[in-house]
Chains A and B, each alone.
Chain A
Amino acid sequence: MNIVVCVKHVPDATANRTFRASDNTVDRAGVDGLLSELDEYAVEEALKIAEAGDGEVTVLTMGPERAADAIRKSLQMGVHKGVHVSDDAIHGSDAIATSLVLAAALKRIDFDLVLCGMASTDGVMGLVPAMLAERLGIPALTYAVEVSIDGDRVTVRRDSDTAVETVVAPLPAVVSVTDQINEPRYPSFKGIMAAKKKPVETWTLADLDVDASQVGLDAAGTAVTSYQARPPRSSGTVISDEGDGGVQLVDFLAAQKFV
């Protein structure tokens, strides 16, 4: 069982994220980056599936040099090897180009299952899993809260707003997982030491036969024309409950015509 986990290196969501004024893309240099938190669930699920049977897990990312941090964290958690697609031409790629590059890389890796997080924590579009499946011509089972493998079939449970669904598909398939699926492990000291010896390959677009004109900001199907920081909310009134906090709360709501 060969599992590939697609991960993204993103600006820390708890830092002050912003844009690059020169081209309106996400500022990936001025803010500390890390493995997208939502991808940790995909890494954890891959490791659980691999540990339950006889599996090997590869982590795949695309991004600048510092995106290697996302691979390192995955290797420290227990992933066996890494592939980093790095090329200057990739900067500013949209989801369409991202899925093109990742699909091209996946075609060069022997896999039975591709796992993704439900979305990145920076763009939060959640498009890439379905796009990968479309490009690879294989099933996509998205937003899984439970995954099980039985021979050459994958079964997932999805918790939608209207129903709880069980979905079955043949392997190979793309599965995206939500943050409800598991509790990602922390790298152990042993894991951190072992990660240093694990193989990581770096591929360029040329290695993937992807033309640079198909990716990057110029090839994007969308453009951010302007961005503006939300003005801070004006500070309100905060009171301490002295026994009539509930009544005071209703006084406020009544003054605002909610009651």
Chain B
Amino acid sequence: MSEILVLVDHDDGNVRKTTTELLTIARRLGEPSAVYVGAGAEAARETLQAYGAEKVYVVDSPDMDEYLVAPKVEVLVQLMASASPAAVLIPSTPEGKDIAGRLAIRTDSGVITDAVDARPGCGEGLETTQSVFAGGYTVEARVTRGTPIVTVKPNSATPEQAEGAAQVESVSVTIPDSARATRITDRQPRTKSGRPELTEAAIVVSGGRGTGGDFAPVEAFADSLGAAVGASRAAVDSGWYPHAFQVGQTGKTVSPQLYVAAGISGAIQHRAGMQTSKTIVAVNKDSDSPIFDLVDFGVVGDLHKILPQATEEITRRKG
């Protein structure tokens, strides 16, 4: 069976859930080989092995953090030549897309972004599924040239454990001088909210213009459900909530079991980011809001009254 390269997304050795999802998808396509760039491979190996990585390619050199995507592009170009993989799977993040785009040019290979599934195609190659036009259409696509390069969205698969050999191979990579010119000169890590990751959460509660800038009821309700907090573009543009939490076309696409939209009208920009959610609930003052066309359950009214009451009710029922 051919190797499937999976670029590992990690936080200093802490493997993100998206990587275990990618490994699960990779197992349906061939033999997963994890590609680990940066420090912490030792700590990560156990997880990669548990989710079926047969090989773990490790690239680590001290100055690699100072560059954007160049080291990851170089190592993948190198491995695509030496391992002749059947496909390369990359997390669908801004960084992942930059890597995928450069890789496609370097290797003259077709590239698909934002896949929500990848499976063996009829005959040869693989077939992918994407959600397009703000979630209005589902398309199936395949790569017709080179080695398929696919970026995969979070929550596209349920991670399944399957012991792999996780044989470690050290890879050295030369960063070309041209790439060295671009440097990260400062990096301020974000403080963690303690809530689940927005794109990985089973429940997301988002606030919009209707919050009037007060996200306390949204956060309290989210916490009572163990949910992640999101925000509409209007709320982010008003400076009420950080952009990292924006749900919509220019923010995150989420597809949780339950999505609660509070004070969000439901413009196309927002729907693009949430309309594939399983169950949708909305609270909004305006009964004509387009969000109510999407809901399984909606309440027309003031979120500042309804959410605190709901939070209190949940707390009461939990006893």
Contacts and interface: CB of A to CB of B under 8 A. Distances in A.
Q: Are A and B bound to each other? A: yes
B250 interface: yes
Given A13-B268, A221-B110, A229-B137, A238 B298 contact: yes
Contact of A246 (B95, B280, B293, B306): B306
Interface string A1-33: 000000000000110111100001000000000
B183 A168 contact: yes
B281 A230 contact: no
A227 B98 contact: no
Contacts of B60: none
B105 interface: yes
A221 B185 contact: no
A252 interface: yes
B310 A167 contact: no
B287 A238 contact: yes
A239 B300 CA distance: 6
B190 A236 contact: no
Say what secondary structure dominates the interface of chain B.
mixed
Contact of B140 (A123, A133, A224, A233): A224
Contact of B136 (A124, A161, A220, A229): A229
**Interface range on chain B: under 10, 10 to 19, 20 to 34, or 35 or more?**
35 or more
A24 B130 CA distance: 14
B11 interface: yes
A209 interface: no
Contact of A166 (B106, B184, B189, B203): B184
A241 B301 contact: yes
B173 interface: no
Interface stretch (A83-91, A93-101, A189-197, A200-208): A93-101
A95 B111 contact: yes
Interface in A235-259: 235-241, 244-250, 252-254, 256, 258-259
Contacts of A95: 101, 104, 111
B106 A237 contact: no
Interface string A116-149: 0010011111111111011101011111010000
Interface in B289-312: 292-302, 305-312
Given A130-B97, A161-B93, 19 more contacts: A16-B136, A95-B101, A127-B100, A133-B102, A155-B185, A160-B94, A167-B182, A167-B184, A221-B104, A221-B108, A230-B275, A236-B296, A241-B300, A241-B301, A246-B313, A247-B310, A249-B281, A252-B281, A254-B317
Interface of A: 13-14, 16-19, 24, 38, 94-96, 99, 118, 121-131, 133-135, 137, 139-143, 145, 155, 159-170, 173, 178-180, 220-230, 233, 235-241, 244-250, 252-254, 256, 258-259
Minimum-distance CB pairs A-B, first 6: A221-B110, A246-B309, A241-B301, A127-B101, A246-B310, A238-B298
